[in-house]
Structure 1
Amino acid sequence: MTISAFAAGTYRFDRQSASLVGMKNQLDGLAQQLSTGRTAETYGGLGVARTTSLSAHAAISAQDGYLAAITSAETRVKLTSASLTQLKSLSDSTRSNLSGNVASRNQTLPATTVQLATNNLAAAIDALNQQAGGVYVFSGRATDTQPVVSQQAIMNGIPAEGLDGLTALIAEQKKADLGPSGNGRLLQGLGTRTVSLFEDSNPEARANFGFNLMAASSSNSAALGANFIAGSKPDVSLNFAQQPVDGAQVRVVVQLADGSQKTLDLTARAGEAGNAAGAFSIGNTAAETAANLKRALGGADIASVQSANPPGVSAAFANGQAASTSFSVGNGVAAGDTITLKLGLHDGTTKTITLTAATTADPTSAAAFAIGATPEDTTANLSRTLQNALTAAANTELSASSTARASLNFFEGSPVAGLSPRRVAADGNGYAETASAKTVIWYKGDTAADPRATATVQAGTSRTVEIGAQANEEAIRRTLAGIAAMAAEGFTTAAGTVDTARFEAVSSRAANLLTASDGQQSLEQLGTDFGLAASSMANAKSVANTTKATLEASLDGVDTVSTEEVAAKLLSLQTQLQASYKVTSILSEMSLVNYLR
């Protein structure tokens, strides 16, 4: 231990020195505060205020993160909304052109309509392939994958890869609907005084193709009898070649009450998950699983099934009765007498054929039949005219229905195993149950059940905004199907004339695809989703900015200092220090000798 020397007056001088050093340190600290504007260079220098500072800075950093995420997402939402607006404009343009051209019956306009639809389809594909910062906004979570293939691939397939496009599916569907006789798969018979019609004897074919007989009547039942016998539904049993694994998907098309069809995609699930909507339970055996699938359909009438193989789903159609109609011809048929036949199509529409008796009629007529010299002659004339009418209806209304159904079927195709577009079976009596590997899949992106949830933005501590989108959403699929149905058709006959009847029929169905009905998703709904997302983010951005400003204000006097106050303190301290230096200097020169003088 070292003991410092002590002399008289040492304590006073030590105190003066310490005081000068302290003021000098204060002066240096104030000078640094004045130059930086900060209270201290370390949190330790803040003393007890360091906890407040640390907490506030952490909260400010969080708000900066929210603001950065919102700013990035705003661009994506704006581009997504712009693309949806473009799709709505293209849909409206196509629909408006269809209705205007049908009303005008201008012979040159069908070709113009097809060209417009072709151009609009290309524009729609470009809109769906929109990118934001290198991210494809309509691909869901597959942001690095272009969602929609080229227009050429959609329409004509990829021949080099053995893949068919929409035009091939339309041709296939038309052939199946027309049937071998070209009259909508109806069987027509001619008796001595009777003309009969029967639906296709194959129950699966009746469920999917051609015309259905719905009703028949006569204006003069005494001379022209009309007898209609309603058919009955077949029994349909389902089977699996193998037990499906958890997550395997099956496509089932069911008949609706209006005669149209609806596609349902169901997922095989184990345990309680199999009771959820859109799922069916995996049983202990393949037969039990098939029963669970049928139960999940809620008693709906099955038209077709499809899956990958395995699990290899199949449907067996048995029993059921084909509907039939017969017209009997007696004596007393007069000019103006009519018979009426009502036909149903598998898109939910109907076609009514009315044939009128006349004293003379063109043998090629599809509307009038000649009254012959005998009832047998009249019967033969009626049969010929009925055949003409059925063929004409099959090549207009039924052909148009085939185009629209095939287009919707094509755009329901999915990259998920087993969910490619339906293809007509090799025998032509139904749809193939094993999913085709020879059809272009137009959509390559994500297939999440909730497209919005595929991209989220953390806009606050407990606020998440969903901004994901997929090009395979129902409203977009129907829009593409409606435009593509027109783009795929041609309405000029071999003779060079325009088939206005078929043009009108296709236009009507394309317009229906472009118009969302009750219960169907619309482009407006999609736009509303993103409008709400943009509004929510704008609100979150305002809250984040306000919170950040409040937190920054709370740090005034903690992290930062008032330059005016520091300057005043600095001047005061400089004055004190100068005075202290002066006094110390004077005192250091004084001695007892000077005092005795």
Structure 2
Amino acid sequence: MTITSFAAGTYRFDRQSASLVSMKSQLDGLARQLSTGRTAETYGGLGVGRTTSLSAHAAISAQDGYLAAITSAETRVKLTSASLTQLKSLSDSTRSNLTGIVASRNEALPATTVQLAANNLSAAVDALNQQAGGVYVFSGRATDTEPVVSQDAILNGVPAEGLDGLRTLIAEQKAADLGTAGNGRLEKTVTEETIVLSEDSRGEARMNFGFSLLSASGSGSGALSAKVTEGAPPNVDLRFASLPSEGTQVRVVVQDADGSQKTLDLTARAGEAGNAAGAFRIGATPEETAANLKTALGGAAIASVQSATPPGLTATFSGGSPATASLAVDPTANPVAGDTITLKLGLHDGTTKTITLTAAATADKASTTTFAIGATAEITTENLSRALDNALKQAANTELSASSTARASLNFFEGSPAAGLSPRRVAADGNGYAEAASAKTVIWYKGDTASDPRASATVQAGASRTVAIGAQANEEAIRRTLAGLAAVAAESFTTGSGTVDTARFEAVSGRAASLLTASEGQQSLEQLGTDFGLAASSMANAKSVANTTKATLQDSLDGVDTVSTEEVAAKLLSLQTQLQASYKVTSILSEMSLVNYLR
């Protein structure tokens, strides 16, 4: 241990030196604060304020993160909203054009309308393929994948790859609906004074193609009578070739009470998850699983099934009976001019067509509305049969053909990149739909297939606030818009001789306009726009909250992290004055001695 020597009279000078060093240190500290604006250069230098500073800086950093995420997402939402607005404009202009031309009956305009629809379809594809910061906004989670193929690929397929487009599907659907007789697959027999029409005897074909017989009646003198005998739907036996695995999807098309069809995509799930909506339970065997699938359908009338292989879902149609319509001429009393026969037909898009045939003294053999009264009931029946054939073929080539176009377009745009969910195709024999998913059809959508498109992209806009901003081009409203545009763009209403088929154009126009108009219970483009409008509003609100919170936190750091330059300058000036005074006093004292004093 070393003991420092101590001399009497040195204590005062040591204290003065220490004081001067302390004031110099304070002076340096104040000078540094004045130049940097910071209280200290380390958190340790903040003393008890360091806890407040650390927590405040962490919170400010979090708010900066939220603001950065919101700023990036705002661009994406604006672009998505702009694309939806463009789609709505394209849909409205096409629908308006279709309605206007039908009303004007200008035969020169259908070709122009087809071109307009094709141009609008191309513009719609461009709108859906927009990018924001290198992200395809309508691809869901598959942000690096362009969601929609080209307009040409949609309409014409990709021949080099052996892939068929919409025009091929429309041609197949028309052929299946028309049948070999070209009358909507109705079978006709004539026996003396009675004409009997019957739906297709094959249950699967009857459920999917051609006309349905709904009702028939005669009016006038009573010499004409008609009635429809209702049929019975076929029984459908579902089978899986192998047990489906967890997450496997199958497609089942069911028929509603009005004759229209609805596509259901169901997912195989194990355990209780299989009882959820949109799912079916995987059983111990393929047979048990098929029974569970049928239970999940809730007794709906099955029209067709489709899946990948495996699991190889098939449907066998048996039993049931076709509806028949009986039209009769009274053998004892010929009809009089003005007597009518009315037949109501159903189509598989839920629409109906009514045919009315009127008795007349004379009638053109090609007439679709009148038939000649013959000398006998048998001759009248023959004339009625010929007019009925003409009317059925005309209805098949207009209303039924237009229905085929619309249905094929919907089927095409229901196609999905998910295994087993490609567009539905007519089977090779033309009497049903293929049960194995086609590998030879263009899949128009290449993006993500999440069940909740909004949740496919989210923004953390606050500690407990998440805003969903995802979008997919395969959402219902977008699919129907594309189907409506493509249904017109894929058609031609000019015959080889240059004649415009105005009747078929009007029929297609009506169905296309229906596709472009959301009915009750269907998702609309306006609803999609509202979703993103709400997302933009929520982010704007979150941005305001984040900015306010950040400003409040920064205010709380005043006096902790930062200093008031005015206050520091005042302290610095005061300290400089003290230090100068101390230096002067110290200098004077250091020069004092007894000799100087005695002088």
Give the 3-state SS of the residue equivalent to 2:19 in structure 1: helix
Q: Which moved more, 1:585-594 or 1:258-267?
A: 585-594
Which residue is equivalent to 1:203?
A: 203
Moved >2 Å (runs of 4+): none
The separation in 1 between residues aligned to 2:204 and 2:587, in whole angstroms, is: 117
The separation in 2 between residues aligned to 1:222 and 1:15, in whole angstroms, is: 135
Q: Give the TM-score of the pair, scaled to structure 2.
A: 0.99
Write the letter of the residue equivalent to 2:595: V
Deviation at 1:528, TM superposition (A): 0.6
Contact 2:221 2:339 in 1 (8 A): no
CA deviation profile, 1:29-79 (whole Å, cap 9, x unmatched): 000000001000000000000000001000000000000000000000000
The separation in 2 between residues aligned to 1:90 and 1:126, in whole angstroms, is: 12
Which residue is equivalent to 1:294?
A: 294
The separation in 1 between residues aligned to 2:432 and 2:388, in whole angstroms, is: 26
Deviation at 1:596, TM superposition (A): 2.1
The separation in 2 between residues aligned to 1:22 and 1:251, in whole angstroms, is: 85
The separation in 1 between residues aligned to 2:458 and 2:11, in whole angstroms, is: 71
Deviation at 1:494, TM superposition (A): 2.5
Q: Do residues 105 (structure 1) and 94 (structure 2) align?
A: no
The separation in 2 between residues aligned to 1:227 and 1:579, in whole angstroms, is: 124
Which residue is equivalent to 2:451?
A: 449
Which residue is equivalent to 2:267?
A: 267
Q: Do residues 360 (structure 1) and 359 (structure 2) align?
A: no
Question: Equivalent of 1:372, from 371, 374, 381?
Answer: 374
Deviation at 1:112, TM superposition (A): 1.3
The separation in 1 between residues aligned to 2:237 and 2:511, in whole angstroms, is: 32
Deviation at 1:380, TM superposition (A): 1.0
Which residue is equivalent to 1:26?
A: 26
Which residue is equivalent to 1:484?
A: 486
Deviation at 1:221, TM superposition (A): 6.6
Give the 3-state SS of the residue equivalent to 2:325 in structure 1: strand
The separation in 2 between residues aligned to 1:585 and 1:192, in whole angstroms, is: 144
Contact 2:220 2:338 in 1 (8 A): no
Q: Do residues 583 (structure 1) and 585 (structure 2) align?
A: yes
Which residue is equivalent to 2:524?
A: 522
Which residue is equivalent to 2:501?
A: 499
Q: What does residue range 146-545 of structure 1 map to in structure 2 within 5 Å?
A: 146-220=146-220, 222-330=222-330, 331-545=333-547
Which residue is equivalent to 1:117?
A: 117
The separation in 2 between residues aligned to 1:62 and 1:9, in whole angstroms, is: 61
Give the 3-state SS of the residue equivalent to 1:107 in structure 2: coil
CA deviation profile, 1:463-508 (whole Å, cap 9, x unmatched): 0000000000000000000010010111112221211110110000
CA deviation profile, 1:409-447 (whole Å, cap 9, x unmatched): 000000000000000011111000000000000000000
Q: Which moved more, 1:469-478 or 1:322-331?
A: 322-331
Which consecutive unaligned segments of at least 5 residues does structure 1 have? none
Deviation at 1:5, TM superposition (A): 1.9
Give the 3-state SS of the residue equivalent to 2:521 in structure 1: coil
Which residue is equivalent to 2:50?
A: 50
Write the letter of the residue equivalent to 1:138: F
Contact 2:334 2:376 in 1 (8 A): no
Contact 2:339 2:359 in 1 (8 A): yes
Q: What's the Cα RMSD here?
A: 0.8
The separation in 1 between residues aligned to 2:592 and 2:124, in whole angstroms, is: 99
Write the letter of the residue equivalent to 2:19: S
Which residue is equivalent to 1:84?
A: 84
Residues paired across the two proteins, number: 597
Deviation at 1:227, TM superposition (A): 2.8
Give the 3-state SS of the residue equivalent to 1:459 in structure 2: strand
Write the letter of the residue equivalent to 1:375: A
The separation in 2 between residues aligned to 1:259 and 1:366, in whole angstroms, is: 25
Write the letter of the residue equivalent to 2:550: K
CA deviation profile, 1:164-211 (whole Å, cap 9, x unmatched): 000000000000000000000000112222211110000100000000
Give the 3-state SS of the residue equivalent to 2:353 in structure 1: strand
Q: Give the TM-score of the pair, scaled to structure 1.
A: 0.99
Q: Which moved more, 1:234-243 or 1:389-398?
A: 234-243
Give the 3-state SS of the residue equivalent to 1:34 in structure 2: helix
Question: Equivalent of 2:552, from 546, 550, 553?
Answer: 550
The separation in 1 between residues aligned to 2:212 and 2:303, in whole angstroms, is: 14
Deviation at 1:3, TM superposition (A): 1.8
Give the 3-state SS of the residue equivalent to 2:119 in structure 1: helix
Write the letter of the residue equivalent to 1:334: V
Deviation at 1:2, TM superposition (A): 1.9
The separation in 2 between residues aligned to 1:359 and 1:195, in whole angstroms, is: 20
CA deviation profile, 1:382-406 (whole Å, cap 9, x unmatched): 1111000000000000000000000
Give the 3-state SS of the residue equivalent to 1:236 in structure 2: strand
Which residue is equivalent to 2:2?
A: 2
CA deviation profile, 1:564-583 (whole Å, cap 9, x unmatched): 11111111111111111111
Write the letter of the residue equivalent to 2:260: S
Deviation at 1:222, TM superposition (A): 3.2
Write the letter of the residue equivalent to 1:188: K
The separation in 2 between residues aligned to 1:371 and 1:345, in whole angstroms, is: 31
User: What is the percentage of aligned positions where both structures have the same residue?
Assistant: 82
Give the 3-state SS of the residue equivalent to 2:462 in structure 1: coil
Deviation at 1:239, TM superposition (A): 0.6
The separation in 1 between residues aligned to 2:242 and 2:382, in whole angstroms, is: 54
Which residue is equivalent to 1:565?
A: 567
Give the 3-state SS of the residue equivalent to 2:167 in structure 1: helix
